Homo-oligomer: A and B are copies of this chain.
């Protein structure tokens, strides 16, 4: 299977020879350029089929400077990437969009900043036409790295700095959080707590801000920082229960953390939603529908966001349409959220 030196792949040259045309014409046919007469097209096509010709991508890239591949860079320990369905759905959206445009997805996993150099080299090496960067914590230098490498980038989630040359796709975290808290209040809850995500990520901060928009005078003890894992959610819930034993509701910044919180609640015998109402965030179906009880949560269309990211990047890559009209500047996207009511609140 790996015997070296076997059947070399046919080249364009071979196709041209077989079709009795020049390499240039063969190339035109292969790339679907206009202006090759039908019979020739036909002959070249046949030659391609007969030979099983497939263009050599390296050669093509060398001249076109196009890879038709984009990198997905995840600045998060691989553990979380694979454990958290959030990424899964996002990547799925991306993959779909890229595939639809004949682009490949190159996955670059980083296990801490030690890998950043490797990623930098890769991006600068011209392997990919663009990059999608994920899960940035404050001060993350991945985007800067991509910029230095001259690789167009779209970021997943609002970056910590503002600067409108940086494109990103995010959902309305703050608005979604407000909806969640208002809903809880509407239920008549009086002591609403919040389990936040890691506060070095904007999504966490935005959700916390939404919480505060509605409850500006909330007792600070009602707010605990988690880490987007079930264990973290469990720990946070335990802490909350200890500090504010009479809480009657909690808005958790992610479904995954909420699942951990629910577990703790069940363990200590608090009924959900009777004693404590719980609202999550994300609407990760695989989590929210399977918790006990099923989770009321803020829905965001994660897969769609992935698709949007890829679409935005691809658009950025397109040649600046030469119609005299000023090119429509690609812009960041913020998608809406909506509350999905299940049983936990």
In the bound complex, do residue A82 and residue B78 qualify as a contact, i.e. CB atoms below 8 Å apart? no
**Copies in the assembly, this chain:** 2
Contacts of A92 in B (CB 8 A): 78-79, 82, 109
In the bound complex, do residue A9 and residue B126 qualify as a contact, i.e. CB atoms below 8 Å apart? yes
- How many residues in A have their beta carbons less than 8 Å from beta carbons of B? 63
Most buried by B among A2, A7, A69: A2
Interface residues of A in 124-161 (CB under 8 A from B): 124-127, 130, 147-150, 152-153
User: Of B9, B118, B166, B290, which one neighbours A124 at CB under 8 angstroms?
Assistant: B9
User: Of B1, B55, B104, B121, which one neighbours A153 at CB under 8 angstroms?
Assistant: B1
User: Of B7, B106, B153, which one neighbours A107 at CB under 8 angstroms?
Assistant: B106
Is A16's beta carbon under 8 Å from chain B? no
The answer for the CA separation of A87 and B286 in the assembled complex, in Å, is 16
Q: What residue of chain B has the Cβ atom nearest to residue A90's Cβ?
A: B82
Q: Which residues of A contact B (CB under 8 A)?
A: 1-2, 4, 6-7, 9, 52, 54-59, 61-62, 67, 69, 78-79, 81-83, 85, 87-89, 91-92, 95-96, 99, 102, 104-109, 115, 118, 121-122, 124-127, 130, 147-150, 152-153, 165-167, 230, 286, 290, 316-317, 319-320
User: Of B61, B106, B153, which one neighbours A105 at CB under 8 angstroms?
Assistant: B106
A-B contact pairs, 28 of them (CB 8 A): A1-B167, A2-B130, A6-B150, A7-B150, A52-B124, A54-B121, A54-B124, A54-B149, A56-B62, A57-B125, A57-B126, A57-B127, A58-B61, A58-B126, A62-B62, A69-B127, A78-B92, A81-B88, A82-B87, A83-B85, A83-B88, A92-B109, A99-B115, A99-B118, A105-B107, A105-B109, A106-B107, A107-B107
The answer for the CA separation of A102 and B83 in the assembled complex, in Å, is 24
In the bound complex, do residue A2 and residue B82 qualify as a contact, i.e. CB atoms below 8 Å apart? no
Q: A62-B56, A109-B95 are in contact. Are A1 and B165 (CB under 8 A)?
A: yes
In the bound complex, do residue A147 and residue B61 qualify as a contact, i.e. CB atoms below 8 Å apart? no
Contacts of A1 in B (CB 8 A): 147, 152-153, 165-167, 316
Q: What residue of chain B has the Cβ atom nearest to residue A149's Cβ?
A: B54
Q: A56-B125, A58-B62, A88-B82 are in contact. Are A104 and B104 (CB under 8 A)?
A: no
Contacts of A61 in B (CB 8 A): 58
In the A-B complex, the 7 residue pairs with the smallest Cβ-Cβ separation, listed nearest first, are: A82-B88, A2-B152, A58-B61, A54-B124, A58-B62, A57-B125, A2-B316
User: Of B2, B9, B95, B104, which one neighbours A122 at CB under 8 angstroms?
Assistant: B104
Q: A95-B78, A286-B83, A290-B230 are in contact. Are A125 and B55 (CB under 8 A)?
A: yes
With both chains docked as a complex, state the minimum distance between the C-beta of A134 and any C-beta of chain B, in angstroms. Answer: 14
The answer for the CA separation of A99 and B167 in the assembled complex, in Å, is 29
The answer for the CA separation of A106 and B152 in the assembled complex, in Å, is 19
With both chains docked as a complex, state the minimum distance between the C-beta of A125 and any C-beta of chain B, in angstroms. Answer: 5
Q: What residue of chain B has the Cβ atom nearest to residue A87's Cβ?
A: B82
The answer for the CA separation of A115 and B99 in the assembled complex, in Å, is 9
The answer for the CA separation of A193 and B105 in the assembled complex, in Å, is 42
Q: What residue of chain B has the Cβ atom nearest to residue A93's Cβ?
A: B78
